[in-house]
Amino acid sequence: MRGSLLLERGPELAAAARAVEGLVAEPARGGCVLVYRGEAGRGKTALLAEIGRIAGDRCTVLAARGDETHTSVPFHVTRQLLQPALEERELLPAPDGRGAEAVDRIAPALGLAPPPPPPAAPADPQVVRGGLVRLLDGLAARLRDRPPVLLVDDAQWADAESLAWLDAYTRTRQGGGLPVLVVLAHRPPPPEPHAPGAPATLAALGDRAVLTLGLDALTPEATAVLARDALGGHADEPFCHALWTVTSGNAYETVELLAKAREREVDPVAGSVALLRELGTGARGGGLVARLQALGAGPTRLARAIAVLGPDSTPQLLRALTGMAGTELAAHTDRLRRARIVTAPDSPVTPAPSPRADPAPTTATQPARPTPAGPLEFTHPLIATAVYGSVPAATRSALHGRAARALAEAGHGPAAAARHLLAVQPADDEDAVRRLRAAAAEHLAVGAPDAARRCLDRALAEPPGPETYAVVLYELGCASLLTAPAATVRHLRSALDLPGLDDTLRVDAIYRLAQVLAHSNQLGEAAGTVAAEAVRTPPGTGRRRLQAAHFMYEGFQAAEEDGPGRSRRLAELTARLTGADNPERALLAVRAFDAMLRGEPAAEVVRLCDSALVDGAPARGLGWTDTTWGFEIPALTGIAYAFADRPDRARALFDEAVRAFEISGWSGAHLAFAHTLLGLAHRRRGDLPRAQHHLEEGLRLADRVGRGLPVHWDTACLLVDTLLARGRTAEARDVADHYAFGPPWPGAIVLPDGPSVLGRLLLAEGRHEEAAHTLEAAAEALTARGRHHVLWAPWPFDLARALATTDPDRAARVATEARAHAERLGTPTARGEALRCLALFATPAESRRLLTRAVAHLAESPSRYEESRARLDLAHATGSATALAEATALATTCGAVTARASTHPPE
């Protein structure tokens, strides 16, 4: 009677049929999200089965079902959806380097490979989620002749990781159309915001759906149709109305009650209403439990075991959990099947042999069928919920404990047993702590930190012994690192306050604590935390790791008490380092960045950068996606290269950053920052259009993550600078206003110096007095810190121009001092720009001489843009039409405006 469950579902099926037609007509973008929402028993499962049948001839149907007992199992639904397609069709990406590496990262989440053993770094959940997004894209591309249709039943019980993947996929592909059809069926979400099943994510998916359909109860008329189809056309109105009243129009309960009435040969007339109501009491809740208990202790014990094991209810595990022999298990299974309580794959429910009586025990004349090899399951989730809820708490806890042991003994691994350990009452069991920690490690290895945190929280409740308590807190802090920074700070500080961490773990705990504080805009506290620990740490790699973090976080601060003193101490510390290991390389990268900011000779900066790399690339363990050190170390190296007139080396590093983040699925702030860095490299090369492209992409990616991120400051600053170089002052102002680029400035430095770029914008707008005040403030702050890089912080050139008409003598002094710093820096770009600025205050003849020298320097510069500026100035100074044409052509290739007034104030 499954077709009966589709009665009054015409609109829902029509919507699905239209969605399938749209997908088949335009496989690359014709998909969408459909959501069917309704109370238990409203026919959602039958509806999805019919949609699968409709799509089956022309589409690849991938189906999954959430399970109440597996809500805490990460990627449970994802594996159900994707594993069959990947195994049967061999549709994994081709091993072209990127594809193979991406698959390696997500294979453990898909169950296609075991999780990497410790001490492998935890998989970033964003990485895994992004990899799964791209995998589904690749799958859809290879299945264009039969595009994918994803059916997820009981989505209210889907694991959070799978829902997050579906949410990310439909969100990121929303603008360009979906190459898949996603159909979700679930019960109305509970009122609790953090209830199992991630109702908030389900709500987001529902908001994105082209159609969200609520499944209403059956009408009295539809109920009557079902009754007459099942029991005969003579079913009278009082009987049909009673049927509708007893079941409240619940489609599942209506069909089940009619099946019982047919088995009992109930006459569908008014006189049978009392019997109908009696039969109905066993369809749900306490009545169903009473009916189960009436079958006997053996079937009841077996049903409870199935409720605890869920989809893992194989004969082997059921025997381990119940202690039943094979023949006994088969007999009780048969009784439960005959009572329409459980079913098994390819095992239709057998009607009870006699009317008006519960199924009789199996006898010699009525042998039990063999227990199927596949797992048993309840005929409906309503039954599963009722049976599980009827198990006394102590019995349920004991069953979960036995299930955890049975799964472990069967070789299922710690993560499979963890969902049961989570439901066991704490009992001061050190073995349970050990298994929960092992499960947390597996969850982290597949990119499920929330699942890991649940295991470690439960381990703390056991609790661990004094010798491992601090270690569990440390592991809990690491599990929270990427998703819950406040929790990480709390757990790591607690772990550091207790005995039990060895020297290596203590250093790592301090480093990670500082990372979280720094990324939470608490740079001063981050620097102080690692500095205090470094003093107590014995000499060696651990101390150097802490020292690198200390100098890095202090240098990132927009203000510090003794910048020159810190720089001097850093220089002394690194003077004899050669880059022999990663701690030395990290310290050299920090030193190179600091030397660049100070305007030290570029040759020394380049030497330090070279020493921080291995054959021109980050060393193993210091790469863009390595979590031990973080992405900051290669970023500092590339930035120092960019401002030392080595933008091509910077570009090579930043190209690799984009590639690494894309492969890893870091499609948020990390990828946004990588595009920002690429924009910097192209800006320093003088390719302004390409710089603008990458910076706008960086802002687009950052905007998807949120507002007011550190990457927003850097990217907006560089984009304003680039637009000003292109002569697009109004656009630069729009960017500045949109991203609130201006005071109050953040606690971290901005790349390049924010106040210097804001002063340049004000100067371009003709607001000379405001520009001068802004640039003077920048000069005061940077000079106090000993930071004199005239290209990273170009305030001297613009302050000289701002003061040119009101205070030319002071302007000339500023330009002269800037030239001295440029000569110390020694790059062709800095020297050429300094000479261009000095030419403003020279006699015509001297100005031509200075500009000629500026052109000579800038011809050796990697930046064609700065060269074009100097050539334009010289052409105007000499009045040469040929020189002006050549300079204009060069400026055009850079994407820059060709009018001299774009960079020089009117004389």
Is it the case that residue 9 has pLDDT exceeding 90? no
Choose between 380 and 148: higher pLDDT.
Answer: 148
Q: Residue 284's pLDDT is what? A: 55
Model confidence over 690-735: pLDDT tens digits?
999 999 999 999 998 888 899 999 999 999 999 999 999 999 999 9
Tokens of 906: 């009117």
The lowest-confidence range among 365-374, 510-519, 744-753 is 365-374
pLDDT of residue 193: 43
Of 35-39, 203-207, 352-356, 648-652, the range with the highest mean pLDDT is: 648-652
User: What number is the average pLDDT over the span 862-890?
Assistant: 95
- 492, 482 contact by CB (below 8 A): no
Least confident of 372-386, 413-427, 782-796, 893-907: 893-907
What is the token pair recorded at 601?
């000779």
Residues 6+ away with beta carbon under 8 Å from 332: 298, 299, 301, 302, 324
Pick from 503, 896, 497, 853: which is nearest to 682 by CA?
A: 896
Q: 547-584 burial, b for 16+ CB within 10 Å, e for fewer?
A: bbbbbbbbbbbbebeebeebbeebeebbeebebeebbb
**Cα–Cα nearest to 669, from 710, 632, 640:** 710
Whether residue 201 is predicted with pLDDT greater than 60 in this model: the reply is yes
The mean per-residue pLDDT over the stretch 258-280 comes to 81
- From CA 666, how far away is CA 689, in angstroms rounded? 25
pLDDT digits (tens, 9 = 90+) for 337-379: 988 889 866 544 443 333 333 343 443 344 455 555 678 998 8
Q: Look over the chain and give the mean of its residue pLDDT values, rounded to a whole number.
A: 88
Q: Which two tokens stand for residue 65?
A: 């079902």
Least confident range of 144-158, 204-218, 717-731, 759-773: 204-218
Instruction: Write the CB contacts of 546 (distance below 8 Å, at least 6 apart in sequence).
Output: 507, 510, 511, 530, 531, 533, 534, 537
384 is written with which tokens? Answer: 């599963």
For residues 211-222, one letter each, b for 16 or more C-beta atoms within 10 angstroms of the residue's C-beta and e for the rest, the string is bebebebbeeeb
Which residue in this structure is represented by tokens 């919920």? 385
The pLDDT score that the predictor gives to residue 383 is 84
pLDDT at 176: 67
* Structure tokens given for 858: 């800038």
400-454 pLDDT per residue, tens: 999 999 999 999 989 999 999 999 999 999 999 999 999 999 999 898 999 999 9
Question: Using one digit for the tens of pLDDT, what is the confidence trace for 60-89?
Answer: 999 999 998 899 999 999 999 998 888 754
pLDDT value, residue 904: 43
Amino acid type, 36: Y
The 10s digit of each residue's pLDDT in 606-640 is: 999 999 999 999 999 999 988 889 899 999 999 99
- Is there a contact between 521 and 746 (Cβ–Cβ < 8 Å)? yes
3-state secondary structure 730-764: HHHHHHHHHCCCCCCCCCECCCCCHHHHHHHHHHH
- From CA 462, how far away is CA 257, in angstroms rounded? 46
Q: How far apart are CA 371 and CA 378, in angstroms?
A: 15
C-beta separation of 712 from 852 below 8 A: no
The candidate with the shortest Cα–Cα distance to 460, out of 513, 493, 422, 403, is 422
d(CA 72, CA 493): 28
> Comparing C-alpha atoms, which of 349, 152, 383, 153 is closest to residue 252?
383
The predicted pLDDT at position 359 comes to 40
Instruction: Quote the pLDDT of residue 862.
Output: 97
> Is pLDDT above 70 for 333?
yes
Q: In degrees, to the nearest 5, what angle opens at C-alpha 769 toward C-alphas 767 and 771?
A: 65
Stretch 517-541: mean pLDDT: 93
For the chain, what percent of residues have pLDDT higher than 70? 90
The predicted model scores a pTM of: 0.80
3-class secondary-structure state, position 91:
coil
At residue 178, what are phi and psi to the nearest 5 degrees?
A: -95, 135
pLDDT score at 898: 66
Q: How far apart are CA 307 and CA 376, in angstroms?
A: 10
pLDDT at 906 over 70: no
